[in-house]
Amino acid sequence: MRLAGCIGNGNREPAANMTSTAQTQDQLAALAGVFHLMGDPSRLSILMTVLTGPRPVGEIAAETGLSPSLVSHHLRLLRGGRLVRADRRGKQVFYAIDDAHISSVLMDMAEHVAEPASGGPQGGPQGGHPGGPPGGQVPRKRGSA
């Protein structure tokens, strides 16, 4: 999937020409759908398992701790999103990452979360808990003490 004029030219630099707003919105919605698929911990676990090479459902289930039926359900969704592909070998179907783009995104993000936090004095994004608000302070609702 390529967001014309939005993602870039292969050099990871934004492209200068933007397409129509409607097309860009459709492409952004499609990209959000892909990230939604990858955002589920079970599906992400499956993706990381098949990142190393093609695996049958039973092996994916054993490695992820999910039931084979749940793995099959998630694989159907991942195939629909073009994140994995299926290759039949005899009676078994092996699943693998669909292409190098998906592998790159997964490996880059895994590397990103593994690197030491840089930010504020407490570590993490601008300090505090990784993924949390700046300074580690949880904002309070108005009117609460």
What global pTM score does this model have?
0.68
Averaged pLDDT, 134-140:
47
65 shares its domain with 100: yes
34 shares its domain with 48: no
**Lowest-confidence pick of 12-21, 40-49, 55-64:** 12-21
16: in domain: yes
Averaged pLDDT of the chain: 80
Give the total number of structural domains in the chain.
2
Show the tokens assigned to 68.
Answer: 């084979």
**Lowest-confidence pick of 6-20, 34-48, 52-66, 97-111:** 6-20
Q: Which residues contact 72 (CB under 8 A, 6 or more apart)?
A: 57
Containing H/E element for 38? helix 21-39
**Structural domain harbouring 70:** 40-111
In degrees and rounded to multiples of 5, residue 56 shows phi and psi of -80, 165
Give CA–CA dist 142/145, Å, rounded: 9
C-beta separation of 86 from 76 below 8 A: no
